[in-house]
Structure 1
């Protein structure tokens, strides 16, 4: 399993998203999965990957939280959580998304 977080420099949410993703990977039996952090520094770079705002969380190249498409704008991503809008998904959402992968 390959986990990756696509992020921009100006959005700090990727740090917490990475911490929670590590915890979710560990708790779902994927302790050996590393997490790659990829800085998206330009709109041109954003067109080369499935970027949907920072942080975009990919597992094996697929967005764990698919949205209506890619975003070449270098902006922070907003996730809908049980507690409202946030800059990253909850641990429970990550856990569920990992277990629900086909």
Structure 2
């Protein structure tokens, strides 16, 4: 299975998101080696990728946190138990990864 972290240039959450993604993949017993990092640099690219902000966690080309908003070259917020944050909680990311098993 292919995994990708999509970010924008200068995103302050890029490093923490990569660490979080690797840890969540390991905790779910998924191979983190095919984890790619892609920097989205234009609005055109954001629209083509259906990119809903940085960071975005992708598995097999699908956003693990589907969004209703229009694609945009921007920061992204996630709902957590403590309100909005620049990263999903470790539990919600693991839950999204765990849900992939039912689609394989």
TM-score, scaled to structure 1: 0.90
Aligned residues: CA RMSD: 1.4
Q: Which residue pairs with 1:98 in the alignment?
A: 97
2:44 matched to 1:44?
Answer: yes
Distance change in 2, residues 1:43/1:93 (3 Å) = same
SS of the aligned residue for 1:58 comes to: strand
Give structure 1 regions of 4+ aligned residues with deviation exceeding 6 angstroms: none
- Give runs of aligned pairs for residues 26-45 of structure 1, distance below 5 A: 26-45=26-45
Q: Which residue pairs with 1:89 in the alignment?
A: 88
TM-score, scaled to structure 2: 0.88
State the distance in 2 between where 1:70 and 1:39 align: 18
- Give runs of aligned pairs for residues 50-89 of structure 1, distance below 5 A: 50-72=50-72, 74-89=73-88
Asked whether the equivalents of residues 14 and 88 of structure 1 are also in contact (C-alpha less than 8 Å), the reply is no
Return 5+ residue gaps in structure 1 as ranges: none
Q: Alignment length, in residue pairs?
A: 101
Q: Which residue pairs with 2:6 in the alignment?
A: 6
